[in-house]
Amino acid sequence: MKDLKTKIEGTLARNEKGRWRIKKIEARLHPLVDEQHQSQLQRCIEIFEQYCVATQSVREGIDVQVEVVK
């Protein structure tokens, strides 16, 4: 791969109680790949979908624990 550009956009929306929450995250990846490696790009995308730590963690839900120490 020669280069990789990314663009991440988040959408905020109010929940049923009127509080702001992250409603959606959109990630756009623009890989610049040599012509000779174009055929391998689809396989790389499939592997990325399976192993991306951030994407899969958010999709499955992240356990959040908050402790206020006085």
Stated pTM of the model: 0.68
Whether the CB-CB separation of 13 and 21 falls below 8 Å is answered with yes
Give me the residue spans of the domains in the chain.
3-60
Q: What is the pLDDT of residues 16-46, one digit of tens each?
A: 999 999 999 999 999 999 888 888 988 888 8
Angle, helices 41-51/53-60, rounded to nearest 10 degrees: 50
Q: Which two tokens stand for residue 61?
A: 């839900």
Whether the CB-CB separation of 36 and 2 falls below 8 Å is answered with no
Q: Which two tokens stand for residue 51?
A: 């192993």
Residues with Cβ within 8 Å of 5's Cβ and at least 6 positions away in sequence, in order, are: 29, 30, 32
